[in-house]
């Protein structure tokens, strides 16, 4: 990835980054959308081109614009934020393709359960001091122990959409 991105430490620009989710409820008829209001993270591009880092979401910061639903999402039925306050993605590698696509691999941890996750992001902006990655991918919530599905109303796949802007540490 060093072709487009300088080596060194990078910090997530929380004001310019978003992590959103969309899940179809009511037997796939009603899309429920939400954002995590509190995100943090950073990473490093090493001299050999390897990329590592961590993205952290405050699970309790989920906001679907419906207070009752948000309270339920924070409960033990879903994110169990009292017991598991953070959702993390630990980046283990990122490979930049010639077309600006970045294959990102790592470990996603939700409810204390870690699973490998790989997705393709689009490098939408890169210069010496800032990098922006956009990605959309799906996660099977059942793989993380989120099995609440009253009356079969909710499918297992949740779509995650991110815009992550990183700035060079010290820039």
Specify if 1 maps to a domain. Answer: no
Sign of CA dihedral 143, 91, 134, 100: negative
* Residue 64 backbone dihedrals phi, psi, to 5 degrees: -105, 10
Average pLDDT value for residue range 84-107: 93
pLDDT of residue 24: 77
pLDDT tens track for 35-66: 999 999 999 999 988 999 999 999 999 999 99
Q: Is a pLDDT exceeding 70 seen at residue 4?
A: no
Specify if 2 maps to a domain. Answer: no
pLDDT tens track for 100-110: 799 999 999 99
Query: Cβ distance 146 to 3 under 8 Å?
Result: no
pLDDT of residue 127: 82
pTM assigned to the model:
0.88
Radius of gyration of the chain (CA): 17
Pair of tokens at residue 91: 């980046």
Selected residue with higher pLDDT from 88 and 142: 88
Average pLDDT value for residue range 83-106: 93
Specify if 116 maps to a domain. Answer: yes
Domain holding 162: CATH number? 2.40.128.110
Question: Predicted confidence band at 3 (pLDDT cuts at 50, 70, 90)?
Answer: very low
Question: Predicted confidence band at 145 (pLDDT cuts at 50, 70, 90)?
Answer: confident
Specify if 120 maps to a domain. Answer: yes
- Which of 8-12, 16-20, 73-77, 94-98 has the lowest average pLDDT? 94-98
Q: Is a pLDDT exceeding 50 seen at residue 151?
A: no
Specify if 49 maps to a domain. Answer: yes
Instruction: Please count the structural domains in the chain.
Output: 1
Specify if 142 maps to a domain. Answer: yes
67 sits in which H/E element? helix 67-74
Specify if 68 maps to a domain. Answer: yes
Specify if 3 maps to a domain. Answer: no
Whole domain around residue 155: which residue ranges? 8-168
């Amino acid at each position: 990835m060093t072709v487009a991105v300088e080596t060194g430490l990078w910090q997530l620009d929380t004001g310019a980054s978003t992590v959103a989710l969309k899940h179809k409820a009511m037997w796939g008829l009603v899309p429920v959308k939400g954002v995590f209001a509190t995100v943090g993270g950073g990473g490093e591009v090493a001299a050999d081109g390897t990329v590592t880092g961590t993205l952290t979401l405050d699970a309790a910061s989920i906001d679907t614009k419906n207070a009752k639903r948000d309270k339920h999402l924070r409960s033990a039925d879903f994110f169990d934020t009292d017991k598991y306050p953070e959702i993390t993605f630990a980046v283990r590698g990122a490979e930049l393709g010639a077309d600006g696509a970045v294959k990102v691999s790592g470990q996603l941890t939700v409810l204390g359960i870690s699973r490998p996750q790989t997705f393709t992001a689009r490098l939408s902006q890169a210069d010496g001091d800032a990098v922006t990655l956009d990605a959309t991918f799906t996660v099977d919530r059942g793989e993380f122990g989120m099995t609440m599905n009253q009356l079969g109303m909710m499918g297992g796949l949740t779509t995650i959409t991110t815009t992550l802007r990183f700035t060079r540490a010290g820039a």
